[in-house]
Amino acid sequence: MPLEHDVSSLVSFLKRIPAVVGAIGSGTFDNGNWWTKFTIDIDHPQAWNVVQELGYVLNYLSVNERLPTVFMPVSPPPYANGPACEFLSWVIESKDPDFTPETCVEWLHTRLPNPVDDLIQWPSDAEEQA
């Protein structure tokens, strides 16, 4: 029988990240892997920094230290719906049922700006251009 993961700790952590807005969906697959789906306000000043940080930690921390996760954009067909600012969502999926949402939170907590909900800790475009 596959593991049932409680994704609530990851959902709570994601809600604290600047630019993450609205409801956050979550669940587990039949194979025991888990997922979260959320929206990033692409007009928020930190939106692309958030995408970059999550992509780095969750997809490509290092060649030898990749997490069993994928962070990716998802969208319904653009021709049938509308612009990215209204319909683009982001998903985190686990690729190993033994990698828990709590472990994911630990990795994010130790590698994202800290505290994660403090905008001052996140780089600004002006800082990046300097």
pLDDT at 1: 47
Counted domains in the chain? 1
Task: Confirm whether 36 is domain-assigned.
Answer: yes
pLDDT at 129: 47
Task: Confirm whether 86 is domain-assigned.
Answer: yes
pLDDT at 87: 82
Task: Confirm whether 1 is domain-assigned.
Answer: no
Cβ atoms of 37 and 89 closer than 8 Å: yes
Q: Which residues of 40-50 are buried (b: 16+ CB within 10 A; e: fewer)?
A: beeeeebbebb
Q: In angstroms, what CA-CA distances link 40 with 54, 99, 100?
A: 11, 24, 23
Q: Which two tokens stand for residue 7?
A: 């994704």
Q: Which residues contact 58 (CB under 8 A, 6 or more apart)?
A: 67, 69, 70, 71, 92, 104, 108
The CATH number of residue 64's host domain is: 3.90.1150
Residues of the chain with pLDDT under 70: 1-4, 125-130
Q: Which domain holds residue 119?
A: 8-129
* Nearest residue to 122 via CA among 26, 43, 41, 53: 53
Q: Could you tell me the pTM of the whole model?
A: 0.88
Q: Which two tokens stand for residue 107?
A: 């990795």
pLDDT at 86: 75
Task: Confirm whether 3 is domain-assigned.
Answer: no
Task: Confirm whether 2 is domain-assigned.
Answer: no
Q: Which residues contact 107 (CB under 8 A, 6 or more apart)?
A: 57, 61, 67
